[in-house]
C-alpha cells in the first residue's frame, strides 16, 4: 500500500522523513515525495501519519 500526502496541508516539518527515510524524501522542488519502492513499511507509515502535525498522510485505497 502506497502512502499519499495531501501536499496542500503539508507544512514541511520533515517528521515523516525523519521517521521513514526510505519512504519519504524532500524533492528538489522542496516538497515531500513518496519514494518509488516495491514494498512500503506499513507500520512506519502509520507512525509517520500519527505524528504528522497536519494529518496529511494517507494510504492509497
Residues that bind ligand SF4 (CB under 6 A): 5, 10-16, 32, 52-54, 56-57
Matching residue, cell 502535525:
53
Minimum CB distance to ligand SF4, residue 1 (Å) = 16
**Between 11 and 35, CB nearer to ligand SF4:** 11
- SS3 of 60, please? coil
**Between 4 and 37, CB nearer to ligand SF4:** 4
CA–CA gap between residue 24 and residue 51 (Å, rounded): 14
CB 23 within 8 A of CB 41: yes
Minimum CB distance to ligand SF4, residue 56 (Å) = 5
Amino acid at each position: 500500500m502506497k502512502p499519499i500526502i495531501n501536499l496542500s496541508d503539508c507544512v514541511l516539518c520533515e517528521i515523516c522523513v525523519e521517521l521513514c527515510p526510505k519512504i519519504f524524501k524532500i524533492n528538489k522542488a522542496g516538497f515531500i515525495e513518496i519514494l518509488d519502492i516495491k514494498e512500503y513499511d506499513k507500520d512506519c507509515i502509520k507512525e509517520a501519519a500519527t505524528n504528522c502535525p497536519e494529518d496529511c498522510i494517507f494510504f492509497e485505497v
